[in-house]
Each structure stands twice: as structure tokens, then as C-alpha cells.
Structure 1
Amino acid sequence: MDIKNYITAVGRGLFDSFRGIRTLFTMDKEMNDRMLSRLSPSHATTPIRRRTSDIQDNTPVRALKKHEESKVLSRTIQCCFFNGGTFLFSIILFEYGLLPFINFVLQFIFGKESFMGKIVWSWIEPMLSIIFKTMWVLPLFVLSKIVNCLWFQDIADTAYRYSRGRPQFMQSLSKLLADLIFSIVVQALFLVQAMLVEYIPIFWVGYCLSVIHMSLLYSLYAFEYKWINMGWELHHRLSYIETNWPYFIGFGLPLTIFTQLPESCIISACIFSITFPIFIISANEASPITGICDYPMHLFSPVIKVSNFMLNRTIGSKKPMAGPSKPHVR
């Protein structure tokens, strides 16, 4: 085992996780230029011809704007505005603006050290928090999950077409749906496993194992859009991560750190939704370092077995999914 190769793979993963930042600002222009050239190669010959063509009703430019214009940057800005500007800002405003202001008013009315003021505040503060979370945070959180899924998929599909061309989906729709359902179950159980290992009595062992779990899980989140478009089944995707785990630990580490900084799970989810589009684009542009691991890290095997058991009990007796096997090199 060459430690230098492992460190290099982790460093390459870290570097590749930020590649999407540069690509984000150039992708739309290059994608739209490609589409224009396919619609009319002679369209972009001169600025005069381009302006004249724009005036007409059935020009390639109008067709592009109406149907196929790439909007990755705008989708990413929408994610930032919706999750950060609307959702996260409202939570921060409530926690650090409205509640302290009401507390200040009560102290002004009853006195700073007044026993009555403290009693009133002990009733008002939890009541306002419950109302705010029930009437605003929870509905908006559910809505954000749905909207983010649509926007993430749009960003991922455009990024894939930008770097690799037309997606190659699985041949059977039922097979694709079964793969997606099983993937959701596996990811949910793996998240539970990541939380459980953190309770190992030796603190640093538990913490490091939890960080490794979350880094691999976030890498799976980011690369899964690309791999599904490539036609890879779940066992292939998991096996590829387990076999090349140093690279994927490095790739998912920044997102793990970003989401673990806040204590609130809601704020952590907001930060994830704001930054995740960058990692989707980075995953499409990445070239993982492979073939350096002598020993795969079989962290997904336990949740595969549990998932098979759960689905067999709930859906019926079907052929269980095999554990991750060594993937074919593509």
C-alpha cells in the first residue's frame, strides 16, 4: 500500500470538488453556442448577420431561447436565492432578530431582572418558535425539497450534455424506477449508519468514521446524476465508490464540513441546497483517480443487506440486490 498515492487521490478529490465553480460561469455560453451552431452553422458568421437574423420570427436564436437555452447559472442562482435568501434568511431573521427584539421589549416593560418578565418570556419564546416552525419552516422545507430535486436534475442533465453528450439511460423504465427506489432506501440507511458510528465510545474514531461516511454519501449524491445518465446500475455505482474510496472521501469532504458547521439541521440542509449544484457540475467534470486501492472499503454492504430485507418484506419476495462487486472499467 502506497500512502502517497492515497494522499494524492484524496487531494485530487478535494481539487475536483471545486472545479464546478469555474465551469458554472462558462457552461451556459458554450452550450448555447453549440446549439446555435447545430441549428444554423452560418448564423454566427458576422455580428451584422446575427442582428438581422434576431429580428426574424423563425430564427435559430428565437428557437433556442424558446426551447433549448441552457440555464444552469440561473438555476444555481435560484437555488441560492430560494434556499439562502428566502429560507435561511427567514430563520436567521427570526432567531437573531425577532426573538431578541421581543425579549428586549419585555425587559423594557417589566424590567431587566423582573421575575414577571422572565415568566412571560418563558411562555412566549417556545410558543413563537412552535408557530414559526409549524406555519413557515416545515412547509417551506418540504417545498424546497421538491423544488430542489427538479432544479438539481435540470442542472445535472445540462452539465452531462455539456461534458458527455446525450444521456444513456437504462433500457427498462421499470428497472430504472426500481433502481431509484432501492437507491433512496440505501442512502437513507447509510445516513443512519453514519449517525450511529459517531456514538462509538472513542470520540475521534467515531467522529472520523462519521466524516468518512458522510463524505462518501455526498460523493454518491453528486456523482449519481452522472452515473445514472451513463446507465450505471446501483451496484456498479456503490462498488465504484468503495473501490476508489480515497478520491471520493476527498471529493465529499468540503460539503461534509460545510454542512456540519451549523448546529441546526434545518440550516445545514439550507447550506447543502445552496452549495450542492456546484458539486453536481464538479462531478460531471471530474476524472476520478482509480486503481490505487488494494482493499475496498465495504461500508455499503450492511445497508444493502438491510435494504434487501426491508424491500422483500414490504414489496414481496423478489430477487435481492447483490452487494457491490468490482465494477468494469469504462
Structure 2
Amino acid sequence: MEVSAKVKVGGFLWLEGLVEACCLHRVVILCMRSNNLLMRTGQCFLLNGFIFLGSIFVLNSVVIPALWWILPDQSSQFVSHKLCDLGGTLKFYSFVRLALIQLFYVLWFYPLYVFSIVLSTIWYNDIAKYGYAAMGRSKFTVEKGSSQNNSPTLQNAHHVKGPSGLGGVMIGIGQQVYSILLLSVFFLEVYATGFIPYIGKLLNFLLLSWMYAYYCFEYKWNFNEVALDRRLDYFESYWPFFAGFGSPCVLAIFFFSPLVSYGIMAILFPLFVLTATGSESEQEISFEKHRWRAAGVERLPIFYVADKVSMWMLSLLPMEKGDQVQDRKAQ
């Protein structure tokens, strides 16, 4: 009975996260409140949707068919069948066609891809900042709940400030370095699961859901100065909720080629960042009102491997810097 109750709780948490992610009306409301937010969101759509995805459409629908028509690889397309005997001509045409397509990628797609990543990263931060300002919400923190029932709850708590001065700056830098390493290692985990037979795709989908959900909420947590260990504790404690929140993000890109997936995700990601920004799940967990919530959900150490690898990598740094980074555990 206890297992079935926890499964039910996990299912409702997952559904709650899915519903939160689909509350796209928040995007409209926030954009109506902020012209800067509307402009940044529109720029993101223009760059990644119209230019990037539009370029892929032109390549696949216009450029490549035109090259196949100009440089065919079948002798039946030649007017003179005598050319059918010239196999070297067909091979040359095939080489030229492939070279022109690759030239299109090198001179246009790859530079545009890098440019889009850099510019979109800057815009995502602006979108989160303008969205957070449009909410007009006071700060909150994630407070670690009681460990007796293994179901931490979120409470409004006083934010504990870290050391001021140079020490605080160094600890802040250390946390940023650790966070980058942690997410980078976790991304490698996500990539590696795709090669596991049979269950690899399912694990890849689940880990991607968590990764995108964490990215979406991280902007708001940064603006609220939520300590790194607190956000990780909350994330791992309510892992079904975040799996549900990240599911629409991954579902939209899971069945496309890498370039198309990136373009679609680059369009949708700001929307999910804004839905996360407008979410009040950290302050009012609506599903705690239900009596079945008391069953609790076991904390899942999602970042365990990434944490161990990241701390090992940081231990290779000079001792003073390594100690400052590891002080994140005490914050």
C-alpha cells in the first residue's frame, strides 16, 4: 500500500509539473507588462525561428533539390544516353554536389549556429530578468524540510547571506564554477544514456526533462539568490514535478534532427523560462493540500554522479581555490 501511495504521489507531482509547464498564458501576461520582454522574446523568435529554421527549410526544400536537378546522379536524367557510359562524370557530379552542400554548412549554418547560441544565451538571461521584474515578486528561498519523513517541504524562509567582501565574492565564483561543472558532467550523462540498448531512449528522455527543467528554474533561483545546495536539495526532493515540467520541452525536439531540434528548442526555451518564472510552486505547492501528499516521495540523487565527478575535478585545482569552492557545502 505504501508503494502504491508513493507512486500515486509521484504521478500527481509529475502531472502538476506538466500543467505548470503548459501555462503559456503567463508568457502573454508578462509580455503585456514589459515592452523589453516582448522585444527580447520577439528577437529570439526572429533569429531562431525565421532565420535559423528558415535557413534549414530553404536548404532542404530549395537548395538541395536544385543541386540534384543540376547535378543528377542517374544517367536517365541526361539527354544523351552516351553520357551514361561516363561513370566518372556521375561521380564528379556527386562530389561537387556534396561539396556545395558542405560549403553551405561551413559558410552559413555553423557560423549561424554559434552566433545563435551566444546571442540566445544573452537574450535568455534578459528574458528571465525582464520576466522576473514583470512579476514584481519579493524574494523567496528554498528551505530544507524535515528529514524524518524524507519529504522536504518548501517554506518561506529568511535568506541566509553569505560572507561579504572578497570572501563572499570568491565563494560566489566557486559556486558558479561548480554549477557549470555539475551541469556539464550531467549533460555528458544525458548524452551517454542515448547509447544504452533498449532503455537508452527512455532514460535519455527522462534526464533531458530534468536538465531542461533545471535550466528553466535556475534563472529565477539565481535572481532570488537561492543557495546552490538548497536548489539541488529541492530539485532532487521533488524530482517527479521537474520531470513533468521538462517533458514538454523534450517532447518538442525528441524526434527531429539535431539542428532542427536546436532551432525548435531555442524558440520554446524562453517560453518555458517565463512559465517557470511565473510559477508559484516554490511558495504554494498546491498538491500539498491533498491528503495523499502525506505519503511523501523518496529523494532521488539525480546529480550524485555529476557531483562526485565535479568535486573530483575541483580537487585537482590549487588547494586554496579548491577549498573555497567546496565551501558551497556549508552555505
Q: TM-score when scaled to structure 1?
A: 0.77
Q: Which residue of 1 aligns with 2:259?
A: 266
Q: Which residue of 1 aligns with 2:11?
A: 7
Counterpart selection for 2:134 from 142, 155, 162: 162
- The Cα of 1:92 is off from its aligned counterpart by 2.2
Letter of the structure 1 residue corresponding to residue 228 of structure 2: L
Question: Is it true that 1:214 corresponds to 2:214 in the alignment?
Answer: no
Kindly report which structure 2 residues correspond to 1:49-198, keeping only aligned pairs within 5 A, or say none.
Answer: 70-107=35-72, 111-112=76-77, 114=84, 115=87, 118-165=90-137, 172-198=168-194
Q: Please, which moves more after superposition, 3-12 or 158-167?
A: 158-167
> Deviations 1:230-264 (Å, cap 9, x if unpaired)?
1112222222111100100000001111121212x
Question: Is it true that 1:244 corresponds to 2:238 in the alignment?
Answer: yes
Question: Structure 1 residues 151, 102: CA separation in 2 closer, same or farther (over 3 Å shift)?
Answer: same
Task: Point out 4+ residue stretches in structure 1 off by more than 6 angstroms.
Answer: 166-170, 322-325
CA distance in 2, matches of 1:108, 1:119: 8
Question: Structure 1 residues 29, 274: CA separation in 2 closer, same or farther (over 3 Å shift)?
Answer: closer
- Kept in 2, the 8 Å contact 1:161–1:167? The answer is no
Q: Which residue of 2 aligns with 1:200?
A: 196
- The Cα of 1:73 is off from its aligned counterpart by 1.9
- The Cα of 1:76 is off from its aligned counterpart by 1.2
Counterpart selection for 1:279 from 272, 279, 282: 272
The runs of 5 or more residues in structure 2 that have no matched partner are 79-83, 141-158, 163-167
Q: Which residue of 2 aligns with 1:230?
A: 224
CA distance in 1, matches of 2:45, 2:31: 18
- Kept in 1, the 8 Å contact 2:13–2:240? The answer is yes
CA distance in 2, matches of 1:315, 1:273: 37
Letter of the structure 2 residue corresponding to residue 297 of structure 1: L
Question: Structure 1 residues 218, 228: CA separation in 2 closer, same or farther (over 3 Å shift)?
Answer: same
Q: Which residue of 2 aligns with 1:295?
A: 298
Question: Structure 1 residues 102, 151: CA separation in 2 closer, same or farther (over 3 Å shift)?
Answer: same
The runs of 5 or more residues in structure 1 that have no matched partner are 32-69
- Kept in 1, the 8 Å contact 2:171–2:327? The answer is no
Letter of the structure 1 residue corresponding to residue 70 of structure 2: V
Question: Structure 1 residues 28, 157: CA separation in 2 closer, same or farther (over 3 Å shift)?
Answer: same
- The Cα of 1:108 is off from its aligned counterpart by 9.9
- The Cα of 1:116 is off from its aligned counterpart by 5.0
Question: Structure 1 residues 324, 273: CA separation in 2 closer, same or farther (over 3 Å shift)?
Answer: farther
- The Cα of 1:130 is off from its aligned counterpart by 2.4
- Kept in 1, the 8 Å contact 2:125–2:219? The answer is yes
- Kept in 1, the 8 Å contact 2:27–2:275? The answer is no
Q: Please, which moves more after superposition, 310-319 or 139-148?
A: 310-319
- The Cα of 1:323 is off from its aligned counterpart by 9.5
Question: Is it true that 1:257 corresponds to 2:261 in the alignment?
Answer: no
- Kept in 2, the 8 Å contact 1:18–1:278? The answer is no
Secondary structure, aligned partner of 1:259: coil
Question: Structure 1 residues 10, 98: CA separation in 2 closer, same or farther (over 3 Å shift)?
Answer: same
Q: Please, which moves more after superposition, 308-317 or 2-11?
A: 308-317
- The Cα of 1:300 is off from its aligned counterpart by 0.5
- The Cα of 1:157 is off from its aligned counterpart by 0.9
CA distance in 2, matches of 1:315, 1:270: 40
Q: Percent identity?
A: 25
CA distance in 1, matches of 2:187, 2:40: 27
Letter of the structure 1 residue corresponding to residue 301 of structure 2: H
- Kept in 1, the 8 Å contact 2:10–2:297? The answer is no
Q: TM-score when scaled to structure 2?
A: 0.77
Q: Which residue of 2 aligns with 1:24?
A: 27
CA distance in 1, matches of 2:329, 2:242: 16
